[in-house]
Structure 1
């Protein structure tokens, strides 16, 4: 059994501080999320071959609105894929410096699956809470594209079909990634004090340039996000958390 996720940024002694929840994902909500469209894709989608993706974004609720993100093979060789973003939604929620995102996900099993939780705004501002590829079964990818840092993290708790608890602290001076209650990477770079970005949750499908595409017999794939919340420390608490952060 995994330990409960800490509720806020850690103190210098490793004790989490409590922070109020400012966003609780309701994937069925049409005011929180827009389905099947993202400006992280050229023209807002539906395809993005330059990023080595076979995706064809669809707004169909069956592909994303239950928290199970699905992909199904099309006759033209692309895959109908599920994506939700807060960009363009009525609420328009953005993550800010000091925010803490907590998520519980079930990783996919199928080769070619490419699940991710990430941020995006105005062609950039990307922080990858996680990316995963089942051809590297024990590896999670954590990346700060804003400041150019990343970590490939191998862990026995990671594998096709595994449930994992993720936690990302979007610090102005250091972004931290936690897995199953343990901090595994602090980049020492952060996002800066003026950063803010929308959330994206999706399941992409690899085209084969960097990771193998789906096997011919595979016609469907999925991964699940059973929890996603964002906590926002008070101004004083966020400043203290920045002082406490030490890269590892």
Structure 2
């Protein structure tokens, strides 16, 4: 009996030592999460660039808030049926997402003197990432009110002297049942489809695979279009919320938002 009691006491002491606050036990490292694949894909791609928007501000190491695609100081493009002046103040990161906000407010370009009656948000990966071939994906909720033109696309990188652009999607918010993709490079190709969902009513993924053999568009992981046309130079990623001058917002509309959960880019494995 005495020997059994001593053994039991030793076992209890050992258990207590293992759970004593401040005492370090063996360290077991959690396995690193596997790189995410494009929605609906089981392989063939390696994650090369991404932003999950988990911080509290736009990451300047990944994004700039102006682009050479906008000729007025990289922020405005009235000649392209756009009413907005883009600026970082309209790009808010928080709660695990990027919120792009278009606001009805007046700004005058300091260089051109042009007046803009809207402000909005554009981001580009120009400081951090450019590619010719790869897979792009954005998970987003698009604005519902009439008069807005959100898009996810690419634009020629610095040093490229010709128009090189791939549109993963464009959406004109007066028509919730139509999405457009375009390959502006090389032979050029166009994709137009009617989604089975309302892009303004919930989260959906929009992707495009730009490969030497052609360009393929995806929505929620499902292939929707393909073209033999493909990119012929390096491009940077752009996501933006434009205000459309041809079908402008109603006079009573003072703003709209595009919400982005993540942006990711892959290269072929």
Answer yes or no: same fold by TM over 0.5: yes
The correspondence of residues 63-212 of structure 1 with structure 2, limited to 5 A, is 63-66=91-94, 67-75=98-106, 78-87=117-126, 89=127, 91=128, 93-97=129-133, 99-121=134-156, 122=160, 124-146=163-185, 147-192=187-232, 195-208=233-246, 212=247
4+ residue segments displaced more than 3 Å? none
Question: What is the deviation of 1:59?
Answer: 2.2
Question: What is the deviation of 1:77?
Answer: 5.8
Number of corresponding residues = 214
User: Gaps (5+ residues) in structure 1?
Assistant: 1-5, 235-248
Matched, 1:16 2:55: no
- CA offsets 1:58-78 (integer angstroms, 9 cap, x no match): 121x43445111100014662
Matched, 1:42 2:81: no
The two structures have a TM-score, normalised by structure 2, of 0.73
* Secondary structure at the counterpart of residue 50 of structure 1: helix
Q: Are the structure 2 counterparts of residues 231 and 30 from structure 1 closer, same or farther at C-alpha, using a change threshold of 3 Å?
A: same
Partners of 1:160 and 1:26 in 2: how far apart? 20
- Contact 1:63 1:71 survives alignment (8 Å): no
- Contact 1:9 1:169 survives alignment (8 Å): no
Could you say which residue in structure 2 is the equivalent of 1:244?
Answer: none
Question: What is the deviation of 1:233?
Answer: 1.8
User: Gaps (5+ residues) in structure 2?
Assistant: 1-35, 107-114
Could you say which residue in structure 1 is the equivalent of 2:27?
Answer: none
Could you say which residue in structure 1 is the equivalent of 2:252?
Answer: 217
Partners of 2:183 and 2:102 in 1: how far apart? 26
Partners of 1:9 and 1:124 in 2: how far apart? 29
- Contact 1:64 1:82 survives alignment (8 Å): no
Question: What is the deviation of 1:46?
Answer: 2.7
Partners of 1:161 and 1:218 in 2: how far apart? 18
- Contact 1:166 1:179 survives alignment (8 Å): yes
- Contact 1:165 1:179 survives alignment (8 Å): yes
- CA offsets 1:16-72 (integer angstroms, 9 cap, x no match): 32422111125521111011x111011433321110000111121x43445111100
Question: What is the deviation of 1:113?
Answer: 1.1
The two structures have a TM-score, normalised by structure 1, of 0.79
* Secondary structure at the counterpart of residue 129 of structure 1: strand
RMSD over aligned Cα atoms: 2.2
Could you say which residue in structure 1 is the equivalent of 2:87?
Answer: 58
- CA offsets 1:87-114 (integer angstroms, 9 cap, x no match): 2x2x3x01231x1112211111111111
